[in-house]
């Protein structure tokens, strides 16, 4: 177990290092950041002083090492636009994105698992076929298009829900949340649903495939031969087996939910870190882009690690050893 | 007791139990994809013929009249032309814009898929053929790429190189080649274990010849089949990037950009600017998916 | 004579496909007396496993039981409701499956999988159920049963898992145990240990056993009576001594000849010519006719009816003469 954790830790550090190099080269290496930093009217001397102060006159390798050293201290640069540390800017937006992602994940599980069971237990029935057709749409339709349709239906046509923003928030332990006010929840429903749809489809597909496969297994027939009630056969024998891939995939999808929240947050003007990323791309606010990528990677790595541990806890056959690749 | 029964007699005796009907329904139930294939054909044809059949050239700013901006579907222009699908904020005929947008979307989807295929197939083939350090290096990069959500990679790349049709294509190639590399490597590894390759190796045929004349043609099938669905993925990604404002330039709007332009007018009830290109995009994506899925099933290829 | 525990008449189970409904079990008659061990023997594809599952109505689509009576303690199981069948399964009729590696749920503990067999049929506390489960494990020779209950299937060997399955079958003191090739996947030494256990437990608890196997040697060692199955029907049945010592059906004779245990040392093993017909290519007349050395002209015309000679019955137009030994 300790060997495994250690190995994963080293692996994670390598991934973060690789990402830092790629992102540094992509964002700082291409184009000249000084163009953005200095107003054109400043004198050449001031300009040179600025370049020196920012370390932009150093060789690329040295610049990278400075960047890396600062990153280790939690300093990923200052936003060109807002003039505050990029990390602070992102962390301030983190709660909004998190509540969106968490609600979307719960929605996907709460809706996806029962529908997947239904479709997997009785694949020929009309509702099951409708569900499976729905998953194809859920997967293949672009996220922004679904968001637009949700707005068109629930906000424009029916007038039930607001189209943009986060609504009223309350502070819990210093973190602003929309989850606890009615107005906040109203604002949260559509973006969360939009973000959840592809995940819901994935859940349904996974659970349906797992269920129909598990139902043909000997252990299910054996449970039935023991006189186990159908409810328990499905709810315990089948579900317990399906839970393993479901939890694993749900965890791994956390990263793509965070990434896809950029689209949903743009459609619904949700003030999360995804919206911040898009805004920063418009304004060429490079430190914020870099900081976003670094923090997102850190998040993915941490979540994947947790998923592995959870996987081992769920499947008695899995022992975490250092030998895994 | 029972007189002997031949197979045919047995068929008749239980031909109508309810369970039998259910079983047969299950065997026969296959979604029809012919409609999707026809739809896809029509959409491709429309895109190809756009310059011929579009009532207006939406890229030619001189032919637009700002007076005609945001007209509802069916309105007439000052010079007597009917805007069947209305006009956008610049007074552009939506029907023409959609036909040209379809063209841009398909162009980006196809060329990025071809590019990603070329790179991915080459990388997968090399990894499978040479193994060892080369294989490990290529697959590490592939794993690294696939470990990140595609939208994020594309966004960051476009943030540093700027927008443009060519740049979007590059971004999509960068996102998609890795999955082809992995598929190709897996298929080529299976193929390499077959005896005819062994025979070719023992025969002393040059490695290049074995790779290009034997390994490539015999293992590329499954990769090509998967790539049909990936065209839909590429088109979706392009539309998304353009919707976010980092994709194609305003001078050459794709369906995604048209939708983005119309989005702000959605709330004021001028739905047609966003909804009609949206419908075109969705029809394109769904038909590509259905046709691709059908191909995958009939060739029995598992997706990545 | 007391009424039999299980009486099966004309049982027929078909499998549907596009071309038709093919009978895997084609008019099977069986009788199991209380407390006895009946061996059901046949080649793979003869329909013996399907027969076992048909008895407890555990046939899934595209299979379907379409005809026959299954009288269990005077009750017709073919007309019983699904809930009634669920109450009987695992309680009055227990089953043991062929592959012990596949039948236990890999992610549930042994204790949970044993206890559910009790708790789904009786209202006892969980503690009580765990104690019963531990006793049952001890009875089939598993050491430190309490600790074993907390473990998962992958921590057990194949033989141990099959002992778990036997212990589970015994939990509710069933009247009948249907065992579908339970020793086929095991080593020979473990197989004979398990046969010995089953025989002993059957005597102790009074449970009748329907033992499904392809191995006549197992039948000879274990069973009181035997039914030989071929192409979906019983071709010969009687006491083990009658059938194995004086087979009347040429198929039984052939099976005996190809069984290593029945041959004198040094003698060549014989084999039955040809292959068992597949489910959708059964010949007309007697299904064994194409492989039979004793076939007559009538055999390709008329399917022979069962004829009986006291307890010993067989379906053959030209039976092996009485008194000849294999």
- What is the torsion angle, in degrees rounded to the nearest 10, for the CA atoms of residue C209, residue C214, residue C219 and residue C224? 40
Query: Which of A145, A262, A284 has its CB closest to that of B151?
Result: A262
pLDDT at A324: 39
Residues A120, A124, A126, A132: is their CA dihedral positive or negative? positive
pLDDT classification of A156: cutoffs 50, 70, 90: confident
Query: Which of B144, B271, B289 has its CB closest to that of A140?
Result: B289
Half-sphere exposure of A141 (CA within 13 A, CB side): 26
Query: Which of A255, A263, A284 has its CB closest to that of B244?
Result: A263
Question: What is the average per-residue pLDDT within C47-51?
Answer: 92
Chains touching A (3+ CB pairs < 8 Å):
B, C
Determine how β-strand C307-309 pairs with β-strand C233-239.
Answer: unpaired
Residue B151, token pair as written in the block? 């939208």
Q: From chain B, which residues contact C within 8 Å (Cβ)?
A: 1-8, 10-11, 13-15, 17, 19-20, 22-24, 26-27
CB C159 within 8 A of CB C186: yes
Residues B198, B201, B203, B208: is their CA dihedral positive or negative? positive
Distance CA(A49)–CA(A28), nearest Å, equals 19
Identify which of A182-196, B254-268, C273-287 has the greatest average pLDDT.
Answer: A182-196
Residues of B whose CB is below 8 A from A124 = 22, 25-26, 29
A38 vs A88, more confident? A88
pLDDT at C263: 63
pLDDT at C45: 83
CB B155 within 8 A of CB A281: yes
Asked if pLDDT for residue A254 goes beyond 70, the answer is yes
Q: Interhelix angle for B150-161 vs A239-267, to 10°?
A: 30
Query: Which of C18, C61, C285 has its CB closest to that of B19?
Result: C61
pLDDT classification of C193: cutoffs 50, 70, 90: confident
Query: Which of A27, A142, A300 has its CB closest to that of B240?
Result: A142
B240-261 pLDDT tens trace = 999 998 888 877 888 888 888 8
Q: How far is CA A193 from CA A134, A200, A282, B45, in A?
A: 15, 9, 27, 36
B108 vs A167, more confident? B108
CB B102 within 8 A of CB B284: yes
Q: A-contacting residues of C 7-66, CB under 8 Å?
A: 56, 58
Question: What is the average per-residue pLDDT within C80-87?
Answer: 93
Asked if pLDDT for residue A322 goes beyond 50, the answer is no
Share of residues in chain B with pLDDT > 90 (%): 22
Given CB atoms, is A223 within the 8 Å cutoff of chain C? yes
pLDDT at C51: 94
pLDDT at B6: 45
Say yes or no for a CB contact (<8 Å) between A144 and B239. Answer: yes
Residue C101, token pair as written in the block? 């590696």
Q: Quick one: which of A31, A29, A7 has its CA closest to A20?
A: A29
- What is the torsion angle, in degrees rounded to the nearest 10, for the CA atoms of residue A56, residue A58, residue A60 and residue A61? -140
pLDDT at C178: 94
pLDDT at A193: 93
pLDDT at C305: 85
Q: Lowest-pLDDT range, A137-141, C207-211, C276-280?
A: C276-280
Tell me how many degrees the CA angle A286-A292-A298 measures, rounded to the nearest 5.
140
CB B129 within 8 A of CB B188: yes
Given CB atoms, is B281 within the 8 Å cutoff of chain A? yes
Quickly count: other Cβ atoms within 10 Å of residue A192's Cβ.
25
pLDDT at B3: 39
A24 vs A204, more confident? A204
pLDDT classification of B7: cutoffs 50, 70, 90: very low
Mind telling me how many Å the CA of B274 is from chain A's nearest CA?
Answer: 9
For chain A, give the secondary structure using H, E and C: CHHHHHHHHHHHHHHHHHHHHHHHHHHHHCCCCHHHHCCCCCCHHHHHHHHHHHCCCCCHHHHHHHHHHHHHCCCCCECCCCCCEHHHHHHHHHHHHHHHHHHHHHHHHHHHHHHHHHHHHCCCCHHHHHHHHHHHHHHHCCHHHHHHHHHHHHHHHCCCCCCCCCCCCEEECCEEECCCCHHHHHHHHHHHHHHHHHHHHHHHHHHHHHHHHHHCCHHHHHHHHCCCCHHHHHHHHHHHHHHHHHHHHHHHHHHHHHHHHHHHHHHCCCCCHHHHHHHHHHCCCHHHHHHHHHHHHHHHHHHHHHHHHHHHHHCCCCCCCCCCC
pLDDT at C2: 65
Mind telling me how many Å the CA of B303 is from chain C's nearest CA?
Answer: 28
Residues of A whose CB is below 8 A from B286 = 136-137, 140-141
Question: What is the average per-residue pLDDT within C107-118?
Answer: 94
C207 vs B294, more confident? C207
Distance CA(A210)–CA(A216), nearest Å, equals 10
Say yes or no for a CB contact (<8 Å) between C61 and B7. Answer: no
Question: What is the average per-residue pLDDT within B47-66?
Answer: 74
Asked if pLDDT for residue A83 goes beyond 90, the answer is no
CB A217 within 8 A of CB A182: no
pLDDT classification of C95: cutoffs 50, 70, 90: very high
Say yes or no for a CB contact (<8 Å) between A141 and B285. Answer: yes
Quickly count: other Cβ atoms within 10 Å of residue A259's Cβ.
20
pLDDT at B237: 93
pTM reported for the whole predicted model: 0.81
Say yes or no for a CB contact (<8 Å) between A240 and C105. Answer: yes
Residues 6 or more apart whose CB falls under 8 angstroms from that of A35 comprise none
Residues of A whose CB is below 8 A from C55 = none
For chain C, what is the mean pLDDT? Answer: 87
Say yes or no for a CB contact (<8 Å) between C107 and A240. Answer: yes
Cis peptide before C168 (omega within 30 of 0): no
Query: Which of A26, A30, A259 has its CB closest to that of B149?
Result: A259
Say yes or no for a CB contact (<8 Å) between B245 and A278. Answer: yes
DSSP 8-state code for residue B78: T
Residues of B whose CB is below 8 A from A280 = 159
CB A145 within 8 A of CB B284: no
pLDDT at B116: 95
C232: left (phi over 0), alpha (psi -120 to 50) or beta: left
Asked if pLDDT for residue A7 goes beyond 90, the answer is no
Choosing among C12, C13, C14, C22, which should be mutated to test the B contact, i.e. which has the most B CBs within 10 A? C14
Query: Which of A217, A222, A227 has its CB closest to that of C91?
Result: A227
Distance CA(B211)–CA(B184), nearest Å, equals 12
Asked if pLDDT for residue C22 goes beyond 90, the answer is no
Here the ipTM equals 0.88
Asked if pLDDT for residue C268 goes beyond 80, the answer is no
B205-236 pLDDT tens trace = 888 888 888 888 888 888 888 888 889 999 99
Distance of alpha carbon C320 from the chain centroid = 26
Residues of A whose CB is below 8 A from C97 = 218, 221-222, 225
Distance CA(C269)–CA(C261), nearest Å, equals 10
DSSP 8-state code for residue C89: B
Mind telling me how many Å the CA of A26 is from chain B's nearest CA?
Answer: 6
Question: What is the average per-residue pLDDT within B126-144?
Answer: 90
Say yes or no for a CB contact (<8 Å) between C117 and A228. Answer: yes
Residues 6 or more apart whose CB falls under 8 angstroms from that of B70 comprise B86, B87, B88, B89, B91, B265, B270, B273
Distance CA(B204)–CA(B187), nearest Å, equals 23
């Amino acid at each position: 177990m300790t060997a495994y954790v250690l190995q994963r830790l080293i692996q994670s550090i390598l991934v973060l290092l690789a990402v830092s190099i790629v992102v540094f080269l992509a964002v700082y290496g291409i184009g000249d950041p000084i163009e953005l930093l200095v107003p054109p009217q400043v004198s050449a001397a001031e300009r040179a002083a600025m370049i020196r102060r920012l370390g932009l006159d150093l060789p690329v390798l040295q610049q990278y090492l400075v960047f890396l050293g600062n990153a280790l201290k939690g300093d990923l640069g200052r936003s060109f636009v807002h003039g505050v540390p990029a990390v602070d800017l992102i962390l301030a937006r983190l709660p909004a994105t998190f509540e969106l992602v968490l609600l979307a994940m719960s929605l996907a599980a709460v809706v996806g698992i029962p529908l997947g069971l239904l479709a997997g237990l009785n694949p020929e029935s009309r509702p099951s076929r409708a569900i499976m057709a729905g998953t194809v749409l859920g997967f293949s339709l672009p996220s922004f298009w679904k968001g637009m349709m949700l707005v068109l239906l629930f906000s424009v046509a029916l007038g039930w829900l607001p189209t943009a923003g986060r609504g009223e928030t309350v502070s819990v332990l210093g973190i602003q949340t929309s989850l606890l006010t009615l107005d906040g929840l109203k604002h949260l429903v559509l973006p969360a649903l939009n973000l959840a749809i592809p995940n819901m489809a994935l859940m349904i597909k996974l659970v349906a495939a797992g269920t129909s496969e598990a139902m043909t297994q000997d252990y299910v027939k054996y449970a039935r031969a023991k006189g186990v009630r159908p409810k328990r056969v499905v709810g315990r024998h089948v579900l317990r087996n399906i839970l393993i891939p479901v939890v694993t995939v749900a965890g791994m999808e956390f990263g793509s939910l965070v990434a896809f929240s950029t689209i949903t947050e743009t459609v619904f003007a949700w003030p999360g870190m995804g919206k911040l990323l898009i805004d920063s791309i418009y304004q060429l606010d490079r430190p914020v882009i870099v900081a976003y990528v670094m923090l997102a990677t850190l998040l993915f790595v941490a979540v994947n690690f947790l998923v592995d541990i959870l996987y081992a806890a769920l499947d008695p056959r899995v022992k975490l050893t250092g030998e895994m690749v | 007791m029972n007189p002997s029964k031949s197979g045919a007699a047995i068929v008749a005796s239980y031909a109508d139990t309810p369970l039998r009907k259910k079983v047969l329904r299950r065997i026969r139930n296959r979604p029809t994809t012919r409609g999707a294939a026809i739809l896809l054909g029509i959409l491709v044809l429309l895109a190809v013929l756009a310059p011929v059949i579009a009532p207006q050239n939406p890229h030619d700013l001189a032919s637009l009249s700002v007076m005609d901006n945001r007209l509802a579907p069916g309105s007439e222009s000052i010079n007597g032309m009917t805007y069947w699908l209305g006009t956008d904020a610049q007074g552009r005929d939506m029907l023409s814009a959609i036909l040209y947008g379809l063209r841009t979307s398909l162009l980006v989807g196809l060329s990025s898929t071809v590019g990603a295929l070329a790179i991915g197939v080459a990388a997968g083939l090399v990894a499978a053929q040479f193994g060892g350090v080369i294989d490990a290096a290529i697959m590490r990069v592939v794993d690294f790429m696939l470990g990140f959500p595609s939208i994020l990679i594309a966004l960051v790349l476009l943030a540093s190189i700027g927008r443009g049709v060519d740049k979007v294509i590059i971004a999509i190639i960068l996102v998609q080649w890795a999955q082809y590399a992995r598929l190709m490597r897996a298929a080529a590894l299976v193929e390499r274990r077959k005896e005819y390759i062994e025979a070719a190796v023992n025969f002393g045929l040059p490695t290049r010849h074995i790779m290009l004349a034997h390994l490539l043609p015999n293992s590329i099938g499954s990769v090509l089949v998967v790539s049909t669905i990936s065209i839909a993925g590429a088109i979706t990604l392009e539309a998304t990037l353009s919707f976010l404002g980092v994709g194609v330039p305003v001078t050459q709007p794709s369906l995604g950009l048209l939708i983005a332009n119309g989005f702000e007018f959605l709330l004021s009830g001028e739905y047609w600017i966003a909804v009609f290109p949206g419908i075109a995009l969705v029809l394109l994506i769904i038909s590509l998916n259905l046709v691709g899925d059908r191909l995958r099933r009939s060739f029995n290829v598992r997706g990545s | 004579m007391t009424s039999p525990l299980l009486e099966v008449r004309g049982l027929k189970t078909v499998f549907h496909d596009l071309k038709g409904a093919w009978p895997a079990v084609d008019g099977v008659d069986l009788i199991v007396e209380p407390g006895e061990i009946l061996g059901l023997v046949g080649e793979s594809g003869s329909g013996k496993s399907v027969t076992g599952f048909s008895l407890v109505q555990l046939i899934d689509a595209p299979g379907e039981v379409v005809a026959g009576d299954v009288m269990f303690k005077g009750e017709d199981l073919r007309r019983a409701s699904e809930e009634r069948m669920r109450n009987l399964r695992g309680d009055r009729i227990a089953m043991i499956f062929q592959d012990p590696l596949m039948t236990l749920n890999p992610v549930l503990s042994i204790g949970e999988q044993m206890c559910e067999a009790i708790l789904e049929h009786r209202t006892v506390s969980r503690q009580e159920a765990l104690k019963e489960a531990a006793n049952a494990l001890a009875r089939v020779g598993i050491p430190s049963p309490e600790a074993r209950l907390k473990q998962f299937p992958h921590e057990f060997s194949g033989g141990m898992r099959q002992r778990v399955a036997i212990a589970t079958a015994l939990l509710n003191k069933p009247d009948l145990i249907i065992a579908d090739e339970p020793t086929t996947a095991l080593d020979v030494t473990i197989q004979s240990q398990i046969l010995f256990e089953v025989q002993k437990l059957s005597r102790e608890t009074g449970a009748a056993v329907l033992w499904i196997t392809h191995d006549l040697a197992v039948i000879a060692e274990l069973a009181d009576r035997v039914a030989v199955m071929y192409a979906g029907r019983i071709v010969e049945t009687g006491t083990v001594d009658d059938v194995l010592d004086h087979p009347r059906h040429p198929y039984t004779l052939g099976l005996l000849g190809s069984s290593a245990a029945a041959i004198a040392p040094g003698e060549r093993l014989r084999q039955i010519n040809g292959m068992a017909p597949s489910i959708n290519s059964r010949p007309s007349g007697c299904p064994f006719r194409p492989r039979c050395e004793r076939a007559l002209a009538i055999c390709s015309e008329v399917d022979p009816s069962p004829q009986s000679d006291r307890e010993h019955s067989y379906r053959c137009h030209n039976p092996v003469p009485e008194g000849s030994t294999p």
